[in-house]
A = this chain, B = another copy of it.
Amino acid sequence: MKFNNGKVNEIQIAYIGGGSMYWAKNLIADLALDEQLSGTIRLYDLDYDKARNNEKLGNSVSEYAEAKSKWTYKAYPTLKEALSGCDFVFISILPGTFNEMASDVHEPEKYGIYQAVGDTTGPGGLVRALRTIPMYVEIAGAIERFSPDAWVFNYTNPMTLCTRTLYEVFPGIKALGCCHEIFGTQGLLIRMLRDMEGIEGVHRDDVKVNVLGINHFTWIDQATYQHLDLLPMYRKFVDKYYESGFEHNKDAWMTNTYTAANRVKFDLFRRYGIIAAAGDRHLAEFMPPWYMKDPDTVRYWKFGLTTVESRVEKHIATELYYRKLLSGEEKLPLKASGEEEVRQLKGLIGLQPFVTNVNIPNVGQMKGIPLGAVVETNALFSSSSLRPVYAGELPLAVNNLVLQHTVNQELILKAALQKDKALAFNAFVNDPLVNIDVNQAETLFDQMLQNTKAYLPGWNI
């Protein structure tokens, strides 16, 4: 990195999973929109050709007149080349194909287990973790060898276990897991301020929240806007909209299976007294099947079960659009993604310190959860420094729920590292969504492992 008149040049960023058609577009646009930073994005992907595509796309965007900075994109065929000498590493990979994803999400439905997303927890999240962890073992090892001092940003799900694996393999790593679910809840609080108090134009940064929990099962026990305590207001807001739900776009949940009417969030508030802070689809998966007993129950709570079929359709459309971008038939619109990666880069570089929520190991910032577990709490980004802000402790009833998942995730990690099917099954039946007969659970588990077998080298299955 070179510093020059308030600008920072020659930043080296390795991007693992750099053949992506999704997250890459966001990154390219966000970087192009910032005028302080520039450098090289070193794209690495198992599919080298896809990395080459993004090399082409990224460099073409740098040519746009409206691009405020000119980044260089370059594909590398090996992790070693991509990582050596980089300042930052971004990891955003897809572990497996849609086939494995279809098994994760839909195989359990045969046993009456429904999942809205299936990438974090529940039977689907667990099996996805089993095949992702070996990939992260490899990545962590490569970072230790080739770029041990780099800051590593993880974007892959299951977020907690990916980040946890990085630290397990290379304890000296400087890694963080980044997720925007909290931003969505801040958005809901902004809409609440408008709805309940007529306060307009509030920026997300001005809604201060204390975050505790684990990724996709995060909670907010303190929320303020200026001097206003938002929790009492939220209680009234929940009372007002408990039955109807409260949506950005009315009834969007009926057609867009990625959205929800926040009824799960409201119900959790009534039961536990603090704000559950992730999308309803994610939250529902961490609880017993209260909200997902069957499709009717899901509809009652007004959220969508995202099918893999819908993901495939979306993918086909994206591929089409992406080809147009590559061919130059369409131009990538340069608008901010809403993610914080550029801001986080700037914080760590020393340009502008700030506080936001991240997934990092618990060094004591979250009481009630074991040290070393990856938790999601606020942290201070400052020059060469990422330091958790003390978050305190969840109410006992909520902490018990989070803790159950935390310790089960540790068991999943152990099972994956040891390639131990019996341990993995011990974790499987501990998941609150798996409340079926134990023998049926075993049949399901066996089938799911078979379906993902190609990604479980060394397992005895």
Contacts and interface: CB of A to CB of B under 8 A. Distances in A.
Number of this chain's copies in the complex: 4
10 contacts: A224-B385, A226-B351, A288-B429, A288-B435, A293-B437, A364-B390, A387-B391, A390-B390, A396-B414, A403-B407
Contacts of A382: 208, 224
B437 A384 contact: no
A450 interface: no
A437 B296 CA distance: 14
A243 interface: no
Contacts of A399: 407
A49 interface: no
A385 B390 CA distance: 11
Q: Which 5 A/B pairs are nearest by Cβ-Cβ distance?
A: A364-B364, A224-B383, A397-B426, A227-B350, A435-B435
A353 B228 CA distance: 14
A203 interface: no
B367 A380 contact: no
Contacts of A407: 396, 399-400, 403
A423 interface: yes
Contact of A290 (B3, B208, B288, B438): B438
Contacts of A228: 350
Given A208-B353, A397-B423, 20 more contacts: A208-B383, A222-B384, A224-B385, A227-B349, A227-B350, A227-B383, A228-B350, A271-B422, A290-B438, A363-B364, A364-B364, A364-B365, A364-B367, A365-B390, A378-B380, A378-B387, A397-B411, A400-B404, A400-B426, A404-B404
A400 B430 contact: yes
A93 to B, nearest CB: 27
A276 to B, nearest CB: 14
Most B Cβ at <10 Å: residue of A271, A363, A364, A427: A364
Contacts of A312: none
Interface residues of A, number: 59
Interface string A423-448: 10011011000010110000000000
A410 interface: yes
Interface string A186-228: 0000000000000000000000101000000000001011111
Nearest to A224: B383
Contacts of A435: 288, 435
A279 to B, nearest CB: 20
A96 B132 CA distance: 53
A408 interface: yes
Interface in A26-52: none
A124 interface: no
B390 A426 contact: no
A388 interface: yes
A81 to B, nearest CB: 26
A137 interface: no
A355 interface: yes
Contact of A3 (B226, B380, B396, B403): B226
A233 interface: no
A431 to B, nearest CB: 11
A66 interface: no
A1 B226 CA distance: 13
A400 B396 CA distance: 17
A169 interface: no
A419 to B, nearest CB: 15
A399 to B, nearest CB: 7
A408 B401 CA distance: 10
A311 to B, nearest CB: 29
A336 interface: no
A227 to B, nearest CB: 4
A410 B396 CA distance: 8
Contacts of A64: none
B403 A224 contact: no
